[in-house]
Amino acid sequence: MGRLSPLLVAWCAIGSLVGTSAGGSYMVKTERLLTDPGLVRGESHLRRRLEGHTAGDEPTVLGGSLYWSGNFSVGASRDLRLLLDTGSADCVLNPGVYKPSDLARTYNGSREFSGGYEGVTRLGFGFEIINGTVETDVVSAGGLTFDAQAIGNISHFHYIDAPRYPYASFAAKRADGLIGFSPRGGSAFTPESPSWFFNLANHGLLSEKRFGVISGTSGNGLFTIGTLARRFINGSLYAAADSGEFGEFTVQGDLTVDGQIFAANQTLIMDYGESNIQPPVHLAERLFATLGWQTHTRLQNNLGTPVTTVLAYFDCDKPPTIGFSFPAQSQLKPGEKAKNFDISPAVWDVYRHRRDRTNCTSIIGGTNAYASVAGNAWILGQPFFAGHYVDFDISEEPHTVSFGDLIDPSMSGLTD
């Protein structure tokens, strides 16, 4: 069949989505959810490797305030707002959301699943365990359809190191579930299931084996699938090789402060489904000390293993200039120059304190929660993505993650 032209559809206005086309591409208009002042939901499959925990029996929803959502169709359920995540592979839906289509089938494996999720609190920490059943059914966005995608139908959930979610019914109206784009792992199902994106790519249903994240600082953005949307990019893209460590999109980059390298050759896990940025504790402490910020260290035993978290506070009117440079020093070729990408000043005041509006909690918070499985790797969450174009290309090995500036970092002029 012929190549589909890239589509641009409002995330709240997609109707019936059917049909599969070879050589397809699609742009999902996205919106940042900034509605809930309480808890949010994030996910990283690294958490699943910490064993010895069982789920509780309270009903739950996936939703929240610091994540990006796009519109999808799953089974016979239309117009679903699904949170977008590069740190996991599964499509999972809130209780009561999933309606099977005529293509629904029993999953070829364990019918039940249990998954661990990190990033429950507004600051991006805390944990949860979810339970549910697995089916296979059709998942669509625009003209892109895969009719045998594994789907998790959530039934129960349990918080660890976080209060009970106080806005469940409201959050259910804002997000219906989550869809992961992780490359090599991140599935809670047994056996593991490829992500929807990887199924599309592996079955020749995409024009190009890539997807892109465009996160405007105004809260508008695009998730491009099967295409590189060059018209939004200002200048060149700067590529970093994906090592595939930890089963995630993992690259090397240099941490910068005021445009100068502060710590070279850092391992960065690109996790769009995480609400903050998490360096290892020792580097967070060094960074905060250099900036002269006040810090608070918490020691908790939330999963049977001591976990240290380091938070920092700064003057909201004086956001720092912190970024990451690509390619990393260790990966530069002769004559090649790296490009620095600063965290947008627009995202630093997310955690403005209620009692003291001049004081903000940093979107960077140190943790050793992943030390046993990810060593000194960073979790680079959605604050870094804001104002940038990030392209994930799996057409060749090694996969690449490329970074570029947006012509309009706010994406405020985005129209349907």
72 shares its domain with 163: yes
140 shares its domain with 198: yes
For the stretch 300-354, pLDDT in tens is 775 667 889 899 999 999 999 999 999 999 999 999 999 999 999 988 877 676 6
253 shares its domain with 202: no
For the chain, the domain total comes to 2
Q: What is the CA radius of gyration of the chain?
A: 20
302 shares its domain with 250: yes
* Residue 34 domain-assigned (yes or no): yes
Under a CB-based contact definition with an 8 Å cutoff, are residues 19 and 144 in contact? no
* Residue 230 domain-assigned (yes or no): no
Handedness of CA 90, 43, 277, 329 (dihedral sign): negative
208 shares its domain with 243: no
121 shares its domain with 16: yes
* Residue 415 domain-assigned (yes or no): no
* Residue 42 domain-assigned (yes or no): yes
| Domain carrying residue 343 | 238-401
Under a CB-based contact definition with an 8 Å cutoff, are residues 177 and 62 in contact? yes
Peptide linkage before 6 cis (omega within 30 of 0): no
Provide the pLDDT confidence category of residue 416 given band limits of 50, 70 and 90: low
User: In Å, what is the CA distance from 77 to each residue of 71, 173, 363?
Assistant: 11, 14, 35
199 shares its domain with 249: no
* Residue 189 domain-assigned (yes or no): yes
33 shares its domain with 77: yes
193 shares its domain with 308: no
Summary count for the chain: helices (H), strands (E): 5, 25
Beta-bridge partner residues of 221: 30, 215
242 shares its domain with 355: yes
* Residue 364 domain-assigned (yes or no): yes
HSE-up (13 A, CA, CB side) for residue 216: 17
283 shares its domain with 210: no
Spatial CA neighbour of 227 closest among 214, 243, 216, 212: 212
Residue 300: which CATH number?
2.40.70.10
Last-in-domain residue among 214, 230, 265: 214
Provide the pLDDT confidence category of residue 143 given band limits of 50, 70 and 90: confident
Q: Is the pLDDT of residue 168 over 60?
A: no
DSSP-derived letter for residue 329 is G
* Residue 258 domain-assigned (yes or no): yes
For the stretch 239-278, pLDDT in tens is 999 998 888 999 999 999 999 999 999 999 999 988 889 9
Spatial CA neighbour of 32 closest among 61, 62, 10, 64: 64
* Residue 228 domain-assigned (yes or no): no
Spatial CA neighbour of 269 closest among 305, 243, 293, 232: 243
pLDDT at 58: 27
Spatial CA neighbour of 183 closest among 170, 169, 197: 197
71 shares its domain with 125: yes
